[in-house]
Chains A and B, each alone.
Chain A
């Protein structure tokens, strides 16, 4: 294949998502052979998954200790000086959550684990700006979607210019068809005539 053909294919918007998906796939496959070196000393650190389960804690693997408003839990932020009272509500649980954790050893694995404190503290305190941005992405997509659903830009039903163009195309097509039928007819007629003679 000549390189010019390749460049022309690259200029077609239809081919671009496929090309992108292909190159992304190649990079992800290469990623399988990259050696993994996890840093155990991370932000918002958690104990090893099995450690708390072996200790028999009801909140395993999410127990970070702490007592609401008295003793800070273990969160380990990047800049502790910017979040002075971090960890103070990490240990908070709603009455329902406390009751479930008292009767079940699997509370930590359920959807209502970390009921109040921990998620709120990371989402709205140390990384609050990220949460603002995430919800504004969502808000912008809702704005675009609702505008499009009210002013349906792909709608061509009432577009007079588009209708005129479609009619012209249809007339052209039918004229073309009629011409072809006529030509075939003449050909068949001449063939028949030749056979008769």
Chain B
């Protein structure tokens, strides 16, 4: 499948050497939504939570400290920018690099929290993110070896060989693990159980958008 069928008319390209970012209405929409959301995150204040205590009347307030806030806001803004970049990139290897950047930022956003259960699941997610670099980069390398190109514009014109299908499956499992789709959801879902909502939500949102974009890329490569 090519760009026109999936995303509408090609509005333009941003040539950066061999990496050509391309803009269709579909990609532009995803890009603009993420940029707008990133702006909102940069400006907004984090939520606070009230923890109730069983059998007693003393409730505790869970707040985001100022040091923690700065670190988490910075990492969330970078995470938003990285996800926005992944929406318009036109290069397979570039996409996997954006993916790896989002993975490490997701760990960073929750690593500033002080709750043991959250840190524990962030550690488990970190293990998955580390393992994911093998299928992500390996899949891109296998697709490069079997087709001789990494550009999505060229890849969309080629027919899929068994090796390309294998590379795409590898990439898919890397994306599934990194964005925490079922059945690998538990460690990522547990990471959200803490205060500081807009920063936590960008973890969720970046995975959602990455999945949408990954489906488009896999259709371009395989169909």
Q: Flag if A39 contacts B169 (CB, 8 Å).
A: no
Report chain A residues within 8 Å CB of B107: 144
Report chain A residues within 8 Å CB of B105: 140
User: B131 touches which one: A24, A30, A42 (CB < 8 A)?
Assistant: A24
How many angstroms between the C-alpha atoms of A128 and B147 in the bound complex? 22
Report chain A residues within 8 Å CB of B17: 77, 79, 82-83, 125-129
Using known A-B contacts A41-B148, A43-B150, A79-B17, determine if residue A19 contacts B183 with beta carbons closer than 8 Å: yes
Report the nearest A residue to B135, measured CB to CB: A24
* Stretch from B24-32, B93-101, B200-208, B214-222 contacting the other chain: B93-101
User: A147 touches which one: B71, B148, B154, B162 (CB < 8 A)?
Assistant: B71
Q: Is A34 an interface residue (CB 8 A)?
A: yes
Q: Flag if B131 contacts A37 (CB, 8 Å).
A: no
Return the CB mask of B139-172 against A: 1 if under 8 Å, else 0.
Answer: 0000011111111001000000111011001100
Distance from A61 Cβ to chain B, minimum over Cβ atoms (Å): 17
Interface residues of B in 185-201 (CB under 8 A from A): 185-187, 190
Report chain A residues within 8 Å CB of B170: 27, 31
Q: Is A16 an interface residue (CB 8 A)?
A: yes
Report chain A residues within 8 Å CB of B112: 147-148, 151, 153
Distance from B31 Cβ to chain A, minimum over Cβ atoms (Å): 16
User: A16 touches which one: B101, B113, B124 (CB < 8 A)?
Assistant: B124
Q: Is A172 an interface residue (CB 8 A)?
A: no
Q: Flag if B131 contacts A21 (CB, 8 Å).
A: yes
Report the nearest B residue to A36, measured CB to CB: B163
Q: Is B114 an interface residue (CB 8 A)?
A: yes
Q: Is B46 an interface residue (CB 8 A)?
A: no
Return the CB mask of A10-33 against B: 1 if under 8 Å, else 0.
Answer: 111111110111011001001100
Size category of the A interface is 35 or more
Interface residues of B in 63-115 (CB under 8 A from A): 67-68, 71, 74-75, 78, 91, 93-94, 97-98, 100-101, 104-105, 107-108, 111-114
Q: Flag if A78 contacts B124 (CB, 8 Å).
A: no
How many angstroms between the C-alpha atoms of A143 and B111 in the bound complex? 12
- What count of chain B residues pass the 8 Å CB interface test? 62
Return the CB mask of A73-89 against B: 1 if under 8 Å, else 0.
Answer: 00001110011000000
How many angstroms between the C-alpha atoms of A151 and B184 in the bound complex? 30
Using known A-B contacts A16-B128, A17-B124, A39-B148, determine if residue A144 contacts B111 with beta carbons closer than 8 Å: yes
Distance from A31 Cβ to chain B, minimum over Cβ atoms (Å): 5
How many angstroms between the C-alpha atoms of A27 and B165 in the bound complex? 12
Q: Is A137 an interface residue (CB 8 A)?
A: yes
Q: Flag if B16 contacts A24 (CB, 8 Å).
A: no
Distance from A50 Cβ to chain B, minimum over Cβ atoms (Å): 19
User: A34 touches which one: B15, B163, B184 (CB < 8 A)?
Assistant: B163
Report chain B residues within 8 Å CB of A27: 135, 169-170, 173
**Residues in chain A within 8 A of chain B (CB atoms):** 10-17, 19-21, 23-24, 27, 30-31, 34-43, 77-79, 82-83, 125-130, 133-134, 136-137, 140-141, 143-144, 147-148, 151, 153-154
9 A-B pairs in the complex with CB atoms less than 8 angstroms apart: A14-B124, A24-B131, A27-B169, A78-B154, A83-B17, A130-B19, A133-B94, A143-B108, A154-B116
Q: 9 nearest interchain CB pairs?
A: A39-B148, A144-B108, A13-B187, A42-B148, A13-B121, A17-B127, A126-B17, A133-B97, A126-B18
Q: Beyond the given A27-B170, A127-B18, could you list 11 further A-B residue pairs with CB under 8 A, ordered by the A residue number?
A: A10-B185, A17-B187, A27-B169, A35-B163, A43-B149, A127-B17, A127-B19, A129-B16, A130-B94, A143-B74, A151-B112
